[in-house]
Amino acid sequence: KNEVEQSPQNLTAQEGEFITINCSYSVGISALHWLQQHPGGGIVSLFMLSSGKKKHGRLIATINIQEKHSSLHITASHPRDSAVYICAVRYNAGNNRKLIWGLGTSLAVNP
């Protein structure tokens, strides 16, 4: 069992829909990252958060440390949002430069 679990694994939506991607983890963390990987392969950091909520444009990320859970929301989805969304966590202990990665959620937004 991966220490970072994402759901769903695959998601198809219609343009304009509200999308939620979930990430659960099993250990104490100091921060959680959300990243986006486009079909061409490039990986871009979207958010880094350790509590509460962050918003950037149509993207919103929330985290509940007690429940060990984070969500990434996309409002008014668009075909250009089609990508793989990856959750990664940084542990509290040890060398906390290293990240533990989820397997990603593949999102397809149809026009």
Q: Could you list the residues that contact other proteins (CB under 8 A)?
A: 2, 4, 31, 33, 40-45, 48, 86, 88, 90, 97-104
Judged by CB, which is closer to other proteins: 27, or 43? 43
> Nearest distance from residue 66's CB to other proteins, in Å?
22
Give dist(CA 79, CA 51) in Å, integer.
30
Residue-level length of the chain: 111
Give dist(CA 54, CA 73) in Å, integer.
10
Judged by CB, which is closer to other proteins: 49, or 60? 49
Bridge partners, 87 (sequence order): 34
